[in-house]
Amino acid sequence: MKVLVIGSGGREHVLAWKLSKSRNVDKVFCAPGNGGISRVAKCVNIKANNIKALVDFATRNKIGLTVVGPEDPLTKGIVNEFQKKRMKIFGPDQKAAQLEGSKVFTKEFMKKYHIPTAAFKVFSTSAEAIGFCKSVEFPVVIKADGLAAGKGVILARNFEQAVASIEDIMNKKIFGDAGNKIVIESFLKGAEISVMAFTDGKTILPLLSSQDHKQAYDGDRGPNTGGMGAYCPTSIMNNALYDQVMEYIIRPTITGLQQEGITYKGILYAGLMITETGPKVLEYNCRFGDPETQVVLPLLKTDLLELMLAVVNQKLAGIQKLNWSDESAACVVMASKGYPSKYRTGLKISGLQNVNSNALQVFHAGTEQKGNQYVTSGGRVLGVVGIDKTLQQALNKAYQGVNKIKFEGAMFRRDIGSKALKPKTSVR
Ligand code: AMP
Ligand code: GLY
């Protein structure tokens, strides 16, 4: 079968790499892909949100399965367009993708179905939002309703910061129409983990849990980013917590959606805060997380194409459970100097040829190939992933890889996984 992966980041590189190893995959295409992805897939120059061109490409090339990486085309309804042509595509349809596309929809949904999350209020005018902030306890978290490329969540520590953020989002429209409405919610304390699950709208198969590192600098300091590193599995997850996450969060989400007339097919990603009073949902994503997927998929032993087809064909009940390696994986993201603000591109990357083995993978996020040379083309440039018996060994491997790769101003965190280096209680 021919498969098409849509997107151009580290997530899409690991998806294309893993699919290229699937028994029944003959050829992998990636649109638009990047420099590194061209090692495992044929990159086609179509942007991820050019839905019409993607439908045409998939039809002309008899693509058996299309896999959508980023949220943007999902919230714009790419799945509905493929389905109209009876083409198989992995991901939720437009209605189901609202779970990521609208924070107002999602918070109200969670309230209706008693899914644990931070207490919140929704506002459509800045005056009302500011009025509300006069009587809240700080800090609070202010969230733009719509998609804002991961930047739409602001922590306000006091009234002045809250006013400035509300005005930026609702009056100055720094995130455009995504800021027509906002959610203000209480600040949750605890450890954050990511839980992803395959679902066909009926059956749910969770993946191993992972942990992202959102802040740019060591010690969780600095601005939020798309993610500076991750590891899998987490030591926080144990059997009791797993049962709670499934019983109070993942299952009620899928059944709640069913009751709303929405069949969710694809990957459901729950970003969770593990608080003193149990796990609470920070956000849902309607797709694989990045960089989390770079550490989860290398440990998956079940055939990825089979799983994705089972989701699309609503036959997931036929797969009893997922099989996993009992190793650990750790990803260290190498980013451009200045990320997540302004950064230069076009810088030569050297040393890549020294670091590829089965247990040390380099997934490309923002790279371009110029002749025989890879150059930087984005904020997050590479994900260096070590796989080994223990998390410590996986981290050592990843950092050994990082030390061999050079580009001007390369920035990376030196403390990925350090909070987790405690004995594991359970891996699930
Ligand atoms: P999101 O884009 O919704 O994942 O938010 C980005 C990050 O903001 C999350 O990964 C958390 O670290 C943080 N965050 C979001 N909501 C809350 C909250 N209610 N309390 C504490 N931190 C939060
Ligand atoms: N790593 C968080 C995300 O994919 O949104």
Give, for all 428 residues of the chain, the pLDDT tens digit. Answer: 999 999 999 999 999 999 999 999 999 999 999 999 999 999 999 999 999 999 999 999 999 999 999 999 999 999 999 999 999 999 999 999 999 999 999 999 999 999 999 999 999 999 999 999 999 999 999 999 998 877 788 899 999 999 999 999 999 999 999 999 999 999 999 999 999 999 999 999 999 999 999 999 999 999 889 999 999 999 999 999 999 999 999 999 999 999 999 999 999 999 999 999 999 999 999 999 999 999 999 999 999 999 999 999 999 999 989 999 999 999 999 999 999 999 999 999 999 998 978 899 999 999 999 998 999 999 999 999 999 999 999 999 999 999 999 999 999 999 999 988 754 444 34
Cα 189 to ligand 1 centroid, rounded to whole Å: 10
| pLDDT score of 22 | 97
Of the listed ligands, the closest to the CA of 186 is 1
Ligand 2 centre from 383 Cα, in Å?
A: 14
Q: Which residue's CA is minimally distant from atom 5 of ligand 2? A: 289
Distance in Å, CA 59 to ligand 2 centroid: 30
**311, 343: one domain:** no
Assign residue 292 the CATH number of its domain. 3.30.470.20
pLDDT for res 152: 84
**What pLDDT, on a 0 to 100 scale, did the predictor assign at position 420?**
84
Same domain? For 217 and 270 the reply is yes
Please tell me the pTM assigned to this model.
0.95
Task: Say if strands 42-43 and 27-32 run parallel, antiparallel, or are unpaired.
Answer: parallel
Whose C-alpha lies nearest to ligand 2, atom 2? 289
Is 201 found in the same domain as 177? no
- How do strand 211-212 and strand 204-206 relate by DSSP bridges? unpaired
Q: 406 and 346: one domain?
A: yes
Non-local CB neighbours of 51 within 8 Å, separated by 6+ positions: 73, 76, 77, 78, 81
Ligand whose nearest atom lies closest to the CA of 150: 1
Tokens 């983990």 belong to residue: 193
- Say yes or no: 84 and 6 in one domain: yes
pLDDT of residue 150: 72
Task: Answer whether residue 294 is part of any domain.
Answer: yes
Contact 2, 63 (CB under 8 A): yes
Same domain assignment for residues 205 and 299: yes
Residue with the two structure tokens 């992805």 = 37
Question: Cα–Cα distance between 426 and 15 in angstroms, integer?
Answer: 26
* Structural domain contains residue 336: yes
Query: In this structure, is residue 248 part of a structural domain?
Result: yes
Atom of ligand 1 nearest to the CA of 283: 3
Whether residue 99 lies inside any domain: the answer is no
- Residue among 227, 222, 197 at smallest CA distance from 212: 227
Task: Specify the residue with its C-alpha closest to ligand 2, atom 4.
Answer: 289
Looking at the structure, tell me whether residues 319 and 335 fall in a common domain: no
Domain end among 163, 186, 209: 186
Query: Do 361 and 322 fall within a single domain?
Result: no
Ligand 2 centroid from CA 371, angstroms: 32
Among candidate residues 114, 99, 151, the one with its CA nearest the CA of residue 270: 99
User: Could you give the residue ranges of the DSSP H alpha helices within 275-389?
Assistant: 292-296, 304-312
Query: Does one domain contain both 381 and 405?
Result: yes
Residue 428 confidence (pLDDT): 41
Domain shared by 257 and 202, yes or no: yes
Q: How far is the CA of 8 from the centre of ligand 1 (A)?
A: 25
Residue 406 sits in a domain of what CATH number?
Answer: 3.90.600.10
Q: Identify which of 182, 283, 290 to mutate to test ligand 1's pocket (most ligand atoms within 8 A of the CB).
A: 283
Pair 197, 288 in one domain? yes
Domain count, the chain: 4
CA of 227 to the centre of ligand 1 (A): 13
pLDDT for residue 85: 97
Helix and strand tally (H, E) in the chain?
13, 22
Q: How many CB atoms lie within 10 A of CB 201?
A: 19
Are 200 and 301 contained in the same domain? Answer: yes
Which residue range(s) make up the domain with 279?
Answer: 188-326
Q: What is the pLDDT of residue 422?
A: 56
In a domain, 408, yes or no: yes
Q: Residue 201 has which token pair?
A: 């709208």
- CB of 397 within 8 A of CB of 384? no
Of 305, 326, 347, the domain-final residue: 326
* Closest by CA position to 94, among listed 224, 243, 262, 270: 262
At 148 the pLDDT is 85
Which amino acid is it at 328? S
Backbone angles phi, psi at 16, to 5 degrees: -65, -40
